[in-house]
């Protein structure tokens, strides 16, 4: 991982130190505090807040996997909702048809996702940029069509209901339990991503994104690494879809519209391309933002009287904020975060020293 040097002189003296994920004491303590806060959160939160947190975790998993693909390997996909749907439908269909428990359906979802990843990824061997994006979009429609056909043929007209997963005979329905499960899943995804990116795979992906020809000259198997990016990202996405199915207790094609893909794209772009932190920040922002405007608008006097107007404003506001973000903060939330960090690092000075060593 390339990391910017600290303001204070922290120098690594051994390879172990260079490899460690958490390096300084400050990092260790702040991480500790952060984890403690995350663990303590369910004790004070209301069920609605827990639900929001769970939504954020689910979104984080999806955003991280999209970030791997788009932000690091440089492959644009508009099929993200299709992949989520594939994972969710794997759970729904397996549950309905064979009553399979979660320890079968989740790996199955991952496998289906991986398989679809190969299919979604095949065009990438030939196509780039916009054209790749559109071909994945086409696949999105195919997945949704198949899901819709299954629903209609089997008579699940209002969606497939999925019972909560059972662990040792006990159904997991408690909101707090779900909080920890999804938190764990999101943390695991983050760790997997971090480690993938520090290893050969991550370096190959970054090389791919920067310039394919050079990557090939460096001896990187372009085709296989592209496919690998699609397979890993898709498998993770499908698992996120599967978790969604269990968490919400239902699956239906309407939940996986193109708008969902757009939301995930917004997460990685608003968060900041090429940064895992960006994916997390983007997931938080895009998930919570509509609720925040909604709450703000509802707090206006007489708001309830004009609910239909109000929600149209809410809908438009999401678009407006996204535009403003894209126009005025091209580096995304991560850019803002880094600027803030620098501000404190450099204080009381305003700018870095020109040229020479940094920090």
Partner 1 sequence: MLARALAAALAAATLAYPASAQDAYVIGVTGALTGPAAGTNGPPIEGLRLYVDRLNAAGGINGKKIQLTVLDDQGEPSKAAANAKRLLTQDNVSLLVLSSLSSTFAPVIAETRRANVALMLMGAVCPKEVYPPADLLQFCTTAYAGGYDSRATLAFIKETAKEPVRIGFAAMAIPLSRGEIDYAEEQAKAMGMTPVDKEVIPPSTADYTPFATKLKDANPNWIFSWAPWVTQVKTFEALRRLGWEGDYITWAHIEAESELARLKDGKFYVIGANSLFQDNLPIHKQIIEEAKKANIRYPAEQMTEGWIGGLVLEAVLKAGGWPADAAKIRAAMENVKVDTQGLRGGAIEWSKDNHFRTRQYYRVYRWDPAKSAVAVTKDWVAYDVK
Partner 2 sequence: MQLIVNITVLAAIYALLACGYVLIYRVSRVMNMAHGELAMLGAYLLYTTASLFTDHPVGAIAAALVLSLTVGVLVYVALMRKMTGQMVLAAILTTIAIGILLRGVIVLIWSAAQQHPLQALKFSNPSIELIGGARISTCAALMVLATVAVYTALFVFLRFGRWGMRLRAAGQNPLLAAQRGINLNAIYALAWALSTLTGSIAGMLIALDSGLDQTMVVIGLKAFAPALVGGLDSLLGALVGAVIVASAEVLAIHYVDPLLSDVVPFLVLIAALIVRPWGLFGTREELDRV
Q: What residue ranges bind partner 2 (CB under 8 A)?
A: 70, 74, 76, 123, 126-131, 134-135, 137-139, 141-142, 145, 149, 212, 258, 262, 265-266, 269, 273, 308-309, 312-320, 322-323, 326-327, 330
281 binds, among partner 1, partner 2, none (CB under 5 to 8 A by kind): partner 1
Q: What are the CA-CA distances from residue 184 to residues 40, 43, 57, 60, 91 (Å)?
A: 14, 17, 9, 12, 20
Q: What are the CA-CA distances from residue 118 to residues 127, 231, 250 (Å)?
A: 14, 6, 27
* CA distance linking residue 238 with residue 80, whole number of Å: 9
CB count, 10 Å around CB of 283? 29
138 binds, among partner 2, partner 1, none (CB under 5 to 8 A by kind): partner 2
Residue of 22, 298, 323, 324 interacting with partner 1 (CB under 8 A): 298
Would you say 38 and 183 are in contact if contact means Cβ atoms under 8 Å apart? yes
Nearer to partner 1, 122 or 187 (CB): 187
Maximum Cα–Cα distance for the chain, whole Å? 69
Query: Which single residue is written with the structure tokens 């990092």?
Result: 27
Torsion angles phi and psi, residue 59, rounded to 5: -65, -35
Nearer to partner 2, 236 or 273 (CB): 273
* CA distance linking residue 175 with residue 46, whole number of Å: 10
Residue of 53, 61, 240, 286 interacting with partner 1 (CB under 8 A): 53
Distance of closest approach, residue 23 Cβ to partner 2, in angstroms: 31
Residue of 171, 173, 210, 224 interacting with partner 1 (CB under 8 A): 173
Closest CA to 19 of 283, 252, 195, 213: 195
Distance of closest approach, residue 63 Cβ to partner 2, in angstroms: 14
* CA distance linking residue 27 with residue 304, whole number of Å: 46
Nearer to partner 2, 149 or 163 (CB): 149
Interface size with partner 1, residues (CB under 8 A): 58
273 binds, among partner 1, partner 2, none (CB under 5 to 8 A by kind): partner 2
Judged by CB under 8 A, the chain residues 319 through 348 that form the site for partner 1 are 337
* CA distance linking residue 278 with residue 325, whole number of Å: 14
Report how far Cα 211 is from the mean position of its chain's Cα atoms: 25
Distance of closest approach, residue 184 Cβ to partner 2, in angstroms: 31
CA angle 250, 256, 257 (to 5 degrees): 145
Would you say 272 and 281 are in contact if contact means Cβ atoms under 8 Å apart? yes
Q: Which two tokens stand for residue 155?
A: 């008579």
The yes or no reply on residue 1 touching partner 1 (CB under 8 A) is no
Residue of 180, 257, 329, 335 interacting with partner 1 (CB under 8 A): 257
Q: What are the CA-CA distances from residue 316 to residues 34, 172, 267, 289, 294 (Å)?
A: 34, 37, 18, 13, 12
Nearer to partner 1, 231 or 267 (CB): 267
Q: Which two tokens stand for residue 318?
A: 């999401």
* CA distance linking residue 146 with residue 133, whole number of Å: 20
**Would you give the binding string for partner 1 spanning residues 209-248, x where CB under 8 A is met?**
-----------------------------------x---x
Distance of closest approach, residue 323 Cβ to partner 2, in angstroms: 5
Residue of 11, 13, 37, 43 interacting with partner 1 (CB under 8 A): 37
103 binds, among partner 1, partner 2, none (CB under 5 to 8 A by kind): none
- Region from 203-211, 218-226, 264-272, 312-320 binding partner 1, contact rule CB under 8 A: 312-320
The yes or no reply on residue 45 touching partner 1 (CB under 8 A) is yes
Pairing label, strands 170-171, 166-167: antiparallel
Binding site for partner 1 (CB under 8 A): 34, 37-38, 41, 45-49, 51-53, 55-56, 148, 151-152, 155-161, 173, 244, 248-250, 252-255, 257, 259, 277, 280-281, 284-285, 288, 291-292, 294-296, 298-299, 304-305, 307-309, 311-312, 314-315, 337
């Amino acid at each position: 991982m390339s990391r910017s040097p600290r303001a204070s002189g922290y120098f690594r003296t051994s390879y172990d130190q260079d490899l460690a994920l958490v390096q300084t004491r400050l990092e260790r303590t702040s991480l500790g505090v952060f984890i403690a806060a995350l663990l303590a959160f369910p004790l004070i939160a209301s069920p609605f807040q827990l639900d929001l947190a769970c939504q954020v975790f689910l979104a984080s998993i999806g955003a991280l996997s999209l970030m791997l693909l788009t932000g690091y390997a440089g492959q644009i996909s508009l099929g993200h909702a299709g992949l989520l749907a594939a994972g969710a439908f794997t759970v729904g269909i397996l549950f309905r048809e064979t009553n399979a428990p979660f320890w079968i359906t989740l790996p199955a979802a991952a496998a289906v996702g991986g398989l679809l990843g190969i299919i979604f990824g095949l065009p990438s061997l030939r196509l780039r940029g916009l054209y790749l994006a559109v071909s994945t979009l086409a696949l999105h429609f195919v997945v949704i069509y198949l899901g819709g056909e299954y629903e209609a043929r089997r008579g699940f007209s209002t969606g497939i209901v999925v019972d909560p997963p059972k662990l040792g005979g006990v159904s997991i329905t408690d909101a707090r339990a779900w909080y920890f499960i999804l938190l764990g899943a999101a943390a695991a995804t983050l760790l997997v991503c971090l480690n993938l990116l520090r290893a050969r795979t991550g370096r190959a992906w970054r090389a791919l994104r920067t310039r394919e020809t050079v990557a090939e000259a460096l001896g990187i198997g372009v085709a296989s690494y592209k496919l690998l990016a699609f397979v890993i990202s898709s498998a993770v996405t499908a698992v996120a879809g599967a978790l969604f199915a269990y968490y919400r207790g239902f699956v239906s094609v309407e939940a996986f519209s193109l708008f969902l893909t757009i939301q995930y794209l917004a997460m990685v772009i608003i968060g900041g391309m090429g940064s895992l932190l960006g994916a997390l920040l983007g997931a938080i922002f895009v998930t919570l933002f509509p609720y925040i405007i909604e709450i703000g608008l509802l707090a206006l006097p007489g708001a309830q009287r004009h609910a239909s107007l109000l929600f149209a404003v809410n809908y438009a506001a999401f678009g407006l904020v996204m535009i403003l973000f894209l126009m005025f903060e091209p580096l995304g939330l991560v850019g803002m975060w880094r600027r803030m960090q620098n501000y404190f690092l450099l204080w009381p000075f305003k700018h870095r020293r020109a040229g020479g060593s940094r920090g």
